[in-house]
Structures are given as structure tokens and as C-alpha cells.
Structure 1
């Protein structure tokens, strides 16, 4: 059988084409679950418990049926390295994420492979160069300071930070004042993300997928209009203007529809993943007050602390690298609650792993949450401990044991933006408040599609 890559010079976008059937995968241990739906509902109900049981029962390579097809799970840091580094170009990210996201976020960087991905990534990377990042830093400092100054008292943190990250996206990403479309944009993103794991994959009336597809239609119309305006006006320093005027290696502008798809995807990724990761960090600081105090001391040492009027000083762009302990705490929160718990790919050609032959066309996936909580790589893995990320410990650990931002060519393009936003948030909060939670507080988390506490995370900000 020819590999999929050999069958077509451009990767086919038909997700069912060339997929091995259960007979082709019968040598791999695993189970299909219930008729028709397979293990879909078991995975949605508690994906981490499901993975734990499958690994304990079948080992770190197993097959399962969910979301309408068979998938082979490849578990552990070695699997992460094989799939993410993708040295031999075995795996397609486009065909892995495609069945999940193609109706909602088509042609985002995560849904591109090889040369097309490399060319567009290079064009878009201009938005994350030092000069634009310095501009975003100023916008983030202003926006975060204005909003969190009103946060004293008891609150549900997740909806508050979700609103704030969306407001910040309007400023840093879009470069426009937040107008009457804000609620509709937020609703569109929520619908699109929720539709990504909807069991019904067709946009039938009254389904999550229909709401998601409608949300995408709204975003396409809004972002197309804005892209054309940016080009007519000559751009600006905000991220959207940088994308709208980005050029490929031959000097040509990206097509408008591709700018729209890239911006839609990156806004979703930044909006939802930063919301999730900032929430997990706040939770762990609230229930680990000794770590919260260590970060506060670091922030005060770097910024100089509040000014004479008691107003917190802004975190200067050039001082971001000095918040080393804050970065370690953020990395530990990302380990504990990775915002993307698993990642799919599709094999373009046959390969061997863990003693098994995996045929071309197989949908495969790695599990980041499992690796982040495995005692193979971490001592006492369910305990929050930022000291895991000292340089010596990082060097001694498998490079792919911690992969919240992915790895290889598809490493998250905006990871430094995420670090910057969270550090600025911590600098403002920790100079103003002590973050508290009820004794023994342990919220239940919704695991998919992007983790969030089901109760919104109940915390109290006590003025210092």
C-alpha cells in the first residue's frame, strides 16, 4: 500500500480516506466500546480516568474507537518526541486536527503541514518580534491594571479573567475599542470551541456543531471586513494589523481568507488557553499561600512595589525575564492543568513504536495530561511544586515530558505572549491583593475541550 504522502503531493483533506479498519489494527491491544458511539462518552465524561485505565490495562500503545473512528494512543515522553518533533515527517497535524476543527478553525497554523506551515508561520512571526511585543506589553499593563483594580472581594475568577482576556485581545490583537460586537464575538468563540468536541459532527439544527458553524460565519464576516480596512489604512502595531500586512518569502501578501483563518484561530488559542492557564495558576497560588508570598516578594523586588500613592508599578517589558520564580510557577500550573490535554495527528506513512507496527492512515494521538502526571518523569506528580523547573532539573528530565505548548515545528507561536500576559497579570494582582480560597477547596474541572473549573473558581482578593 502506498503511503498517503505518495498518493498525493498535497495531503488529502478527506479524513476517512485510507483509514485502516479494525482488522488492520487488531494486533494492537485495546477496545471499541459501545456500538456506534464507541468510547466517545466515556472519554468525554472523564478523559484522564479513561486514559489511566487504558494504559494500566493495555500499555502505552493502545487502540480505541471514539468520535466515529479508530485511534491509536501513543503515551509517554518518548511518544511525545516522536510525534511532535516529527523528524521523518510521518505525522500530519492538518489531518489530525482536521476532523475536529476543520468546520470551525480551518487553515489555522495548527492545521497546516510542512512547507505551507513553515512559510505562513514565518510570515506571521513578525507579530511576535520585539517591537510589536513591546507595544502589546504597554497595552496589557494598562488594560490589566484598569480591570483588576476593581477585583477586591469574593469572586468567580474564571468568568472575570475570560472577560479580561477578551478585552485585552480587542486592544492588543485587534487594536480597536471594544464595541457592541464584543458579546457576539465572545459567544462565537465559546460556541466554536464547544463544537470542537461535539459528539454530533454535522451542523444539524439545534446542535452544538450548528452553533459553532454559525459562530464561525460571524467571525469570518467580522474579520474579513477588518482585514480589508487594515490594508486600506496601512496597518498598525496591533497583532491583527501585523497579520493583515504580513508577506510571504516572495513578498506577496497572505490572501484575505487566510489572514481571517489565522486570526480567528490565534484569537481562540490566546483567549481560551490563557484564560484556562491563568485560572489554574490563581488556584494553585490561592491554596499554596507560601508560594504566593514568594512570587509577591519577587514581583516587588523587580517592580519596586507600589508607588507612594499605593498604586502598583507596571512591569516593564525589559524586566519580564527577571520574574524567574513567577515563570516557574506558571510552568508548574501548565504541568498540573495543561490547556490542551491531548493532541491528535494522522500517520502519512507506516511506522514502528513500542513494538507495534502502525499502518499509514492511522489516526494517532498523544496524551499531554498523562505525561505531565506520570511518576516516570515527576516525583509526587500531583503536588504543586515550581522548583521542578530549576535549570538543573529541567536539564535532567526528558525534553518532551513537559509539552503544554506542543513541540517541534508546531510549537505554539504565541508562547512568549502567554508568558508576558500572565507575568503582567501576576505583577498587578500580587502588588494589590492576597489571593485566598476556602480551606480544603478543590474545584471540579471540566476537562474538555479546554480545562476550566465548573464552579468558575471561587476565590477572594483581599487588599494588602
Structure 2
């Protein structure tokens, strides 16, 4: 195990990520490189982030510095690094100031961008939306919506990624917000698409005709909608959809969350949920199409678990263990969030290096998910890695697609449910085959997706 020790900094870290950046001198004792003039390694990392990380680890070890995206970052690579940052016993790391440069123009005050007591209070209030009662309601809506869309896909060739992206957006509008499929849901979906694309746009100011302008206009539309709807649902007593649960959630003292915070939480949740589910659902379908023997095992399990109408009931979700194991293996091979940034609020030691307060730091989930130290033959699809015995024998932080610690994804059980219901309707009605002659190339960052959209063929059973 690496040495983990927090230290009081000589001076407190600045209050906001934009107030200070580390210089090369601040990090002179940490190995690494600055890359090209002005741009550093920004384009190198964007074009091949996984290859870049492997090269840096081979050259410098599992703690290194790199200059990219306008400043210096310290990478900490390994399961121990995951545990240090995600569990964060000493409250060293700020998630708000780590994600802020990427998300705070479009998705500020989302749960992932909160720290410590504020995060704990809001997380506890929002957790009401994921209790068994609401989850049972969502399961019914997911079954109906997915069954309808899978039937509409029909047999034949299709491009899966855009199809499931539209499906997850529609399901989010229905299950999260309580809107039926239609023009209003379409307008909300488009606003989300614009905002998500703007979050990684190279031009960071909302200049005319830029993606950032479209994104900020989308955010304005969404915040106005969520604020107006929060007031209405409070007045009318809410409902079973997730938004109504959030709108009427209370903190420990019994007070309602401020309307603007409810709006920001919903805005962030919709973004986080549909993009990650789209990515992970696509990777699972790709891997099952490549491995028909596993597809058949899941099909047999799901047929036994679904009722006479083909629905996967809420109470049957726990019985589809192989389906869950296959999903976990897909999340290992293609984690939807490949890396996680933080900012050090105080100095600490890791891997024999002292990392100063104020440093931008990060862990690399994708690298650890493919580390032979924890995963023999890591490029092979093998759901049996997730038997209870193998999970118990492995480092607890060797598999972290949903994060960990206080910031563990609040909606992870919803994600499992949505994927299980999707597989129940897809695999019991169709055999899934790859339509192309070779595996798709994957865009690795910011959220993985196949560059060709994943061309598949559905064969009616």
C-alpha cells in the first residue's frame, strides 16, 4: 500500500480553482513533462488519452505531472490512488474545484460539484427519489417505454448509439420529469444535447454562432423550465416522477431546497444520467454482439425472469445476476467516465511524493480497469470476474465506474435497473449481431462512444 498522509499547507489553498494555477517550479520534484509550447499535451491527450497514460506510467511511474488544458496537473494512477481520492478520509480533495473548469458554466451546483457538508445535506435530501417506492414506479415506466421503442426498432440493420441516446433522453423526460413523449419533451432533449456538447467545446465564451452560445441558451431554457415546474409541483403536491420527488425533498431541518438549487440538480442529473447510460448501454450491446455465447446465457436468464407480457418486474431485478455481471464487465472495459479530476485543498503525500495544496490532481479509472495487477487478461470480456468470491479477493477500488466514497453515483441502482430492463426487452426479442466487418473505433473522451455509432443487425427470434 502507498503511504497516504495529509499535511497542513504552508498557506491555505485559494478559494476557487480559477484563482491560482501550479507552476512548473511548484511541482519540480514530481517527474513528468510539459509538452509543446502553449498547448502542452492537450491535443496528445485528446487524440489518444489511454495510450498517453500508458506511456507516461511506463516512463515516469504512477505519479507524474503533465501540462495540458491550460495548466499543470498531477496524475495518480492505481487502485490505491482511487481509494485515496474517492474515499477522501482527510477531506483533502475538492470535487467542485476539480470539475469546475469543465462544467460550471453549464451545470453548476450539481451534486457532483458540491463538497463536504453541503454535498452531504443535498445528497441526503435527494436520495428520496431513489427509495423503493419511486424506483418501483420508474421500473413500470421504463418497461413500457423501452418495450415500445424496441418494438419500433424492428429487425434489420441499425446504428445503435444514436438510437439508444434518443431512447434514454425520452425515458429521462418521462421517468425523471414526468413528461409524455411529444414536442415539449423534444425541446427539453434538444436543450440538453446543446448544453452537454458545449461542456467540452474548445471556445469557452458564449460568442455568437458557437456551441457555447447554444449551450448557454439551452441551460437558460432548462433552468427556467425547472424553476417554473418546481413551483407548480410544490403547489399541486408533486407526483411519483423523479423531478417531483426532488421538488418536494427536504433537508434534515425540514426545509425545502431552494428552487434554483432544485433546478440545478435536475439539470445536472439529466446530463449525467442520459450520457453515461447511453455510453455504457452501447458498450454492453457491442460486447454481447461480439460474444454470442454470453448473449445466449443472458437471454436464457432474462426469459426466466420476465412475466407473461415480457416485462421485467421490479421484484425480479435481483434475479438477473448474469446480466448484472455482464454489465459490470462492460463498465470495466469501457468506463463511461474514464478519469476523474479533483483539486487538493491541502498538501498531502502519495507514492513517495509531496503534492502541494492547490494542485489539480486526477485519477485514471480506465487505466486501473485494464491493469493486469487486478485483471488477468484485461482485454478479454469475462463477466465471471464479478462473482462474489472474485469481488471479495480484489482491491475494493480496482473497479470504480460509479466513483466511490461520499460521491458514489446517487443513481447507480437506477442505472442497473434501466440496463436490465433494456436487455430484457432487446435480448428476448432479437439476436444482436455486428453489422460491420470490424470492431468500431471508440472516441475515448469525454464520454466514450463508437465513432461509427455502432452498426448492428437485429434478428427477430
TM over 0.5, shorter chain? yes
Instruction: Give SS of 2:223's match.
Output: helix
CA distance in 2 between partners of 1:199 and 1:184 (Å): 25
Instruction: Give SS of 1:181's match.
Output: helix
Conserved? CA contact 1:196–1:449, under 8 Å: no
Equivalent of 1:435, from 415, 432, 441?
Answer: 432
Give the match for residue 26 of structure 1.
Answer: 28
Conserved? CA contact 1:3–1:348, under 8 Å: no
Q: How does 1:182-331 map to 2 (within 5 A)?
A: 182-303=185-306, 307=308, 312-331=309-328
Question: Displacement of 1:18 after TM fit?
Answer: 4.1
Equivalent of 2:101, from 95, 99, 102?
Answer: 99
Instruction: Give SS of 2:289's match.
Output: helix
Question: Displacement of 1:440 after TM fit?
Answer: 5.0
Equivalent of 2:402, from 393, 396, 405?
Answer: 405
Give the match for residue 363 of structure 1.
Answer: 360
- The 3 A distance-change label for structure 1 pair 208 and 54 is farther
Give the match for residue 62 of structure 1.
Answer: 64
Conserved? CA contact 1:40–1:199, under 8 Å: no
1:372 counterpart = 2:369: yes
Question: Displacement of 1:60 after TM fit?
Answer: 0.8
CA distance in 1 between partners of 2:12 and 2:400 (Å): 32
Question: Displacement of 1:4 after TM fit?
Answer: 7.8
Give the match for residue 442 of structure 2.
Answer: 445
Give the match for residue 176 of structure 1.
Answer: 179
Give the match for residue 46 of structure 1.
Answer: 48
Conserved? CA contact 1:287–1:441, under 8 Å: no
Conserved? CA contact 2:191–2:221, under 8 Å: yes
Question: Displacement of 1:22 after TM fit?
Answer: 1.2
Give the match for residue 126 of structure 1.
Answer: 128
1:165 counterpart = 2:168: yes
Tell me the TM-score normalised to structure 1 length: 0.95
Conserved? CA contact 2:12–2:345, under 8 Å: no
Give the match for residue 4 of structure 2.
Answer: none
Conserved? CA contact 1:406–1:412, under 8 Å: yes
CA distance in 1 between partners of 2:315 and 2:79 (Å): 34
- The 3 A distance-change label for structure 1 pair 157 and 106 is same
Mark the runs of 5 or more structure 2 residues left unpaired by the alignment.
1-6
Q: For residues 75-126 of structure 1, what are the alpha-carbon distances to aligned partners after superposition, in whole Å with 9 as ceiling and x for unaligned? A: 0111000000001101010110111111011000000010000000000000
CA distance in 1 between partners of 2:56 and 2:298 (Å): 38
Equivalent of 1:83, from 77, 82, 85?
Answer: 85
Give the match for residue 114 of structure 2.
Answer: 112
CA distance in 1 between partners of 2:441 and 2:282 (Å): 13
Instruction: Give SS of 1:155's match.
Output: strand
Conserved? CA contact 2:436–2:455, under 8 Å: no
Question: Displacement of 1:428 after TM fit?
Answer: 0.8
Kindly tell me the number of residue pairs found equivalent between the two proteins. Answer: 454
Conserved? CA contact 1:274–1:418, under 8 Å: yes
Conserved? CA contact 2:66–2:72, under 8 Å: yes
